[in-house]
Amino acid sequence: MTKYRVVSIILMGILIAAVIVLCALAQVAQSRKAAQQQEVPSTLPQVDYVLGEYDGYLALFRGEQEQPYQILDMPVQLLSDYDRGQIAEGIHVQTEQELRQLVEDFAS
């Protein structure tokens, strides 16, 4: 065998190995992307807002915070027993629009 032929065979082997490694890396990247896409639905939904009571008044909370970000001028005493029970547990909603609708329902 000539020196040229040995070098050609070695270079061909390196090239084939490089192609195999690149294909394996592409497959790993594709698997990770698919796994991330499957994880997204499991993290949702998260509660963003809570309608509850603070010092005897309806109050709006973000998530599980203990201090409200807004206290409404509506005493909980004026609500029905059923509504007071719901407020005592805290009514969880996902969006600010749902929260506004809920407050409107209690105000009417």
- For the stretch 3-37, pLDDT in tens is 888 888 888 888 888 788 887 788 888 888 877 77
- Residue 85, token pair as written in the block: 């029970």
**Cis peptide bond prior to 75, omega within 30° of 0:** no
What does the pLDDT read at residue 27?
Answer: 86
What is the mean pLDDT of the segment spanning 61-65? 86
Return the closest-CA partner of residue 47 out of 93, 86, 89, 90: 93
pLDDT > 60? residue 71? yes
Q: What is the pLDDT of residue 45?
A: 55
Instruction: Output phi, psi for 94, to 5 deg.
Output: -90, -35
C-alpha 103 chain-centroid distance: 25
Q: Which residues fall within 8 angstroms of residue 107, CB to CB, at 6 or more apart?
A: 74
Average pLDDT over residues 47-67: 89
